[in-house]
Amino acid sequence: MAKNQNKRILIIGIIIIVLLSVVGYLLIKKDFSDDAFNVNTVMMKLNMVVGKDLSTSVRITNLENERQEFDLYFSGLEGIASVSEKNFLLEGNQHRTINLLFNDSLGRVDVYTGYLVVKTSKLTKRIPVVLTVEEANPFFAVIQKSLPAYDEVTLGGKLGVDIKIFDLKTQDSQNIDVNYLIKDFNGQTLVSEDEDQVVTETASVSKIFNIPEDVQVGDYVFVTSIDHNGKSIVAYYFSIKKNGATSFFKNFGNIEYFAIIVLVFVIGMFWLIFRFFEARDELILKLKNQQGLELKGNLDVIREYRKELNKIKDLSERRLKLEKLERQKEKVIEKIKDKHKKQRDEVKKYIEMEKVRERKKKDEEFNEMREKYEQEKERVIKLYEKQKREKLSGRLKKKEKKFQDEKDKAIKELKLKYELQKERAEELKKKEEEKRKQEIKNNMLKKINDWEGQGYALSELKSNIKGVHNNKMKNKIDEWKKQGYVLK
């Protein structure tokens, strides 16, 4: 019995190990299957003296078994950062070191952010870069670190930073103006705040900022700067992530999370089955021990009876005793059989009751689990619908704004075209008018020349005809007639 029980435990253990292996494979498969290459850093935080240059490097490893073509460039750091090689080929499982060059072309103390982009046909990685340009000999040193309760920054959450300021020049009390700034990697300012601080050798302050829910998820920097006897500046890099409910929804449909739920359910089922067999084996073992004790007691009675029988010398008396013993033995055996039958029936009944009870318990647990699953599913679906509506509303607003901008641009272009066409039409009209007037004058001069050829005295008329307009020509001719000109 114990051997069979150990065998069942071994089988259940093997099944659980196999299930855990499958789930582990599903959980890590995604993390490694998508990495076509590796960069030896996930984030770069650099410091450079104002007016100077800085050089560093990264190592890129091709994790594929085939050749890959790589493209490298900086995004958001144009004019400040450059790479030694923008394009190169790497054979399978080979690596290459690329030099990165930084130049303070603007010559000012500031914090610059951007990305080092490493791209192949299979994968694109964006390495955050935070470059702090600082004075060579600053008046103050600033150290920033996250408050333990605010290590993870989420939408609608809080950012907590512990700031320590050290006076590097004097031991006197200094009244300084401190600026706190949160901005994204596109240069957009999220939070800006100024405050006065009194520093005597050192000062410490903890700042907590509320993060709006409508900002973009991504990379940000928290900048502390001090304008006092020059400028001291320091940057703290952090990421804003989605909140827990959104993260759960994001992963809800992934196969690895479904596999975890199935694994927990299967392990629970195996544990219930194991407990059922363990309880049944304990009952059977107790019954077996009880039967063994009863059988031993009956055998002891028979042995005692045989000893007494051997003491009897009379054969007839001994035969009567033997017959009596046989009858008693048959009764005992019959009694034991009946008792065993009753015990077997009780065991079967108990097993059936246990099966019914375990089945009922499993059904209740399954129904409870299914109910919780349905509730969670409904909650997640509602959350998804809400986010979908908000996202759709945001898209519609963006589309409306884009449409309005395009409409305004089209109207502006139409107005400009209309003005140009209007100017051209007026210019053309003016030219046509001048042309028409010139034709009338030319025709009139020709007519006068004809009249002059016919003998009319028209020298004075010819000199005055250039100033005559067509619409007044008839009146002018009448006036000339009154003056004595002969016009036939």
Domain assignment present for residue 487? The answer is no
Q: Are residues 449 and 425 in the same domain?
A: no
Residues 111 and 225 in one domain: no
* 116 within 8 A of 126, measured Cβ to Cβ: yes
Cα 24 off chain centre by: 22
With beta carbons less than 8 A apart as the criterion, state whether 213 and 386 touch.
Answer: no
| CB-neighbour burial class of residue 161 (10 A; exposed 0-12, middle 13-18, buried 19+) | buried
User: Do 408 and 297 lie in a common domain?
Assistant: yes
259 & 373 share domain: yes
Q: What is the pLDDT of residue 247?
A: 47
Give pLDDT tens digits for 413-423.
878 877 888 88
Rounded distance, CA 320 to CA 54, Å? 119
pLDDT higher than threshold 90 for residue 62: yes
Q: Does residue 347 belong to any structural domain of this protein?
A: yes
Answer yes or no: do 237 and 257 share one domain. no
Domain's final residue, options 66, 99, 125:
125
pLDDT at 237 over 90: yes
Amino acid identity for residue 235 in this structure = A
User: Which of these ranges, 228-237, 241-250, 337-346, has the smallest mean pLDDT?
Assistant: 241-250
164: which strand partners?
Answer: 143, 204
**Cβ 94 vs Cβ 11: under 8 Å:** no
Residue 126, judged by CB atoms within 10 A of its CB (0-12, 13-18, 19+), counts as middle
Residue 131, in any domain of the structure: no
pLDDT number for residue 2: 47
d(CA 263, CA 20) in angstroms, rounded, equals: 8
- Tell me, what amino acid is at 92? G
- Domain-located, residue 306: yes
Query: In the chain, what are the helix, strand and coil shares in percent, each to the nearest 5?
Result: 55, 30, 20
Please state the domain count of the chain. 4
Q: How far apart are CA 170 and CA 228, in angstroms?
A: 13
Within a domain: residue 141? yes
CA distance 316 to 251: 93
Q: Is residue 171 part of a domain?
A: yes
- The reported pLDDT for the residue numbered 253 is 46
- Clarify whether residues 2 and 150 are in a common domain: no
Q: What is the DSSP pairing of strand 95-103 with strand 87-90?
A: unpaired
Question: Does residue 274 have a pLDDT over 70?
Answer: no
Domain end among 189, 218, 241? 241
Over residues 275-329, the pLDDT tens digits come to: 655 655 665 666 666 666 666 666 666 666 666 666 666 666 666 766 676 777 6
Q: Are residues 15 and 39 in the same domain?
A: no
Least confident of 107-121, 211-225, 353-367: 353-367
Q: Are residues 267 and 381 in the same domain?
A: yes
Owning domain of residue 189: 137-241
pLDDT at 236: 93
- State the first-to-last Cα distance of the chain, in angstroms, to the nearest integer: 150
> Does residue 381 share a domain with residue 341?
yes
Question: Within a domain: residue 261?
Answer: yes
Region of poorest pLDDT, from 120-134, 149-163, 228-242, 453-467 = 453-467
> Domain with 148 in it: what CATH number?
2.60.40.150
The whole-number pLDDT of residue 31 equals 46
| Residue 402: partners with Cβ closer than 8 Å, 6 or more residues away | none
Sheet harboring 53-62: ordered strands across? 37-39, 53-62, 95-103, 81-83
Q: Do 188 and 151 contact (CB within 8 A), yes or no? A: no
Cα(333)–Cα(342) distance, rounded to whole angstroms? 14
In this structure, are 337 and 414 located in the same domain? Answer: yes
Residues 90 and 236 in one domain: no
Mean pLDDT of the chain: 78
**CATH number, domain containing residue 48:** 2.60.40.10
Of 74, 101, 125, which residue constitutes the final position of a domain? Answer: 125
Residues 250 and 361 in one domain: yes
pLDDT tens by residue, 73-103: 999 888 899 999 999 999 999 999 999 999 9
Query: Is 132 a member of any domain?
Result: no
pLDDT at 188 over 60: yes
